[in-house]
Amino acid sequence: MSPSTVTHRVQFLRHPHPGFPHLMAWGIRIDGTDLRVLVAEATRALWSRELDEDDYTLRESEESLLGQHAPLYLDQDADGARARAHFTGDSPPELRDSDTGASCLLGCPCGIDACWPLLAMVRATPTEVVWSGFHQPNRPEWGRLPLGPYVFPRPAYDEALAAPVPLTEDPLAPLLGEGQP
């Protein structure tokens, strides 16, 4: 890492998948903020060009922005080995863009992660892990999203990945209208 590189803090979370509570998902916080919140901010203006604001209340618009992605469900990952490989750049083919090699960091709320993924390049070295080039492959006209690059010191990244924070529910559940009439 160069002395001028800004480093970030990552936290991995394990909680019930928002759409399928019987499945455990991998959530992500960067510098204490849920990645889905960062994506909502990065795509707000892009969505406003596509959606008719008269069709949604402010609350519905915010729920839609926050709920456009879901934490990843990495099946058959009781010991976290699949997540460790995935989040250090060794993603399985179904969670990797075959053209660019970008990895899926967030999936689709429908439960099929690759349906509406948030992709980014994940580069791991012995000293750091870098996430860059965030994009939504289903909206190529959006180009690269104004997120990152995020540089994480490798030892702290590995520690966070080895000991994800266990939660009893999705931390964004109240903001997504879950459990509300």
d(CA 120, CA 130): 10
pLDDT at 50: 67
* Crossing angle of the two packed helices 35-50 and 58-66, in degrees rounded to 10: 120
**pTM reported for the whole predicted model:** 0.89
- State how beta strands 165-166 and 10-16 pair: parallel
Structure tokens at 139: 């909206």
pLDDT cut 70: percent of the chain above it: 88
d(CA 116, CA 8): 26
Q: Is the pLDDT of residue 180 over 60?
A: no
Kindly provide the b/e burial profile for residues 93-128, where b requires at least 16 CB atoms within 10 angstroms of the residue's own CB: eebbbeeeebbbbbbbbeeebeebbbbbbbbbeeeb
Q: What is the pLDDT of residues 8-30, one digit of tens each?
A: 999 999 998 887 888 889 999 99
> Among 27-41, 60-74, 107-121, 133-147, which stretch is predicted with the lowest mean pLDDT?
60-74
Q: Is the pLDDT of residue 1 over 60?
A: no
Structure tokens at 45: 């203006």
Phi-psi region of 32 (alpha: psi -120 to 50; beta: other; left: phi over 0): left
pLDDT at 55: 63
Q: What is the pLDDT of residues 28-52, one digit of tens each?
A: 999 999 999 999 999 988 887 666 5
Q: Which residues are paired to 120 by β-bridges?
A: 103
